[in-house]
Structure 1
């Protein structure tokens, strides 16, 4: 995610004058401007694996998604599990908590995913 590599093969993700290639879908926490300013933990894709994913990924077949070109996929923050030290040792207190870089960090967080905010979004009809 940090180096903008394809989530399938690890080669450089596809980029043209409209931006990087991403898939995204509307979620309960999506902003009213969706897909603009959407927060995603899904890395971009190369063109070849975007076509393969669109045809073979069971999750994409079962949900409405958008193919996007994103000019400014800004690093937004991390998510993970928050741990608290107790008399009995470390205890998980919250799972999959989002911690934006713009706000104070959660002490005891073990981050597991990086998130990007998708800005400068163009919805494209085809790959």
Structure 2
């Protein structure tokens, strides 16, 4: 079972989101661990891996955050595969798209170890249809993906789910559920043969 997958017992409790005097959202009963070291508010969710049924397609916020920060495999939770070309990532992209090869990539999907990457492309319906394996020599946390709020009365109003970069003035109004990583200096690779010629 993928390390970052959420389980049915890991239900998000009812959370009362409020506007704070600091000009950002918070919880009415906010606790110190509800925010990360950058002051971003995170979805509060219990950690009960293996309890209930796996909810494929749903990501556990804290395990995804840990996998991104520590470059852990999103499937097994151990160290992601790294070599001279960098950490291994699988992306649902078109490798032939010129924009893909020219740009930095942002993703909410943590890296993988090679054995789990090989299993994933065989087992995951999304990856079976299309994937690109890349090695990134440089990666940096770029922002968060989560519920964006706007001021409202008597409480802030959720306006949708989006990605927001660190430094964006909207970030104090996001309840984060996933970290976003920017991959730089990446090489398209084959899981079996190594780097792919451009």
Q: Same fold (TM over 0.5)?
A: yes
Q: Does 1:87 align with 2:141?
A: no
| Largest Rg, 1 or 2 | 2
Residue matched to 1:2: 69
Unpaired runs of 5+ in structure 2?
Answer: 1-67, 193-198
Residue matched to 2:181: 116
Asked if structure 2 preserves the Cα contact closer than 8 Å seen for 1:31 and 1:37, the reply is no
Greater fraction of residues in helix: 2
Residue matched to 1:19: 86
- TM-score for both structures, normalised by structure 2: 0.56
Residue matched to 1:41: 108
Deviations 1:82-115, CA, capped at 9 Å, x for gaps: 12343343421122x2111143343321011111
Q: Does 1:72 align with 2:138?
A: yes
Asked if structure 2 preserves the Cα contact closer than 8 Å seen for 1:24 and 1:35, the reply is no
CA shift, 1:34, in A, is: 3.4
Q: Does 1:106 align with 2:177?
A: no
- TM-score for both structures, normalised by structure 1: 0.84
CA shift, 1:81, in A, is: 0.6
* Whole-angstrom CA distance in 2 between matches of 1:41 and 1:68: 15
SS of aligned partner of 2:122: helix
* Whole-angstrom CA distance in 2 between matches of 1:104 and 1:93: 16
Q: Which moved more, 1:32-41 or 1:3-12?
A: 32-41
Unpaired runs of 5+ in structure 1?
Answer: none
Q: Does 1:50 align with 2:131?
A: no
CA RMSD of aligned residues (A): 2.2
Greater fraction of residues in strand: 1
Count of residues paired in the alignment: 123
Deviations 1:44-64, CA, capped at 9 Å, x for gaps: 0011100110111111112x2
SS of aligned partner of 2:137: strand
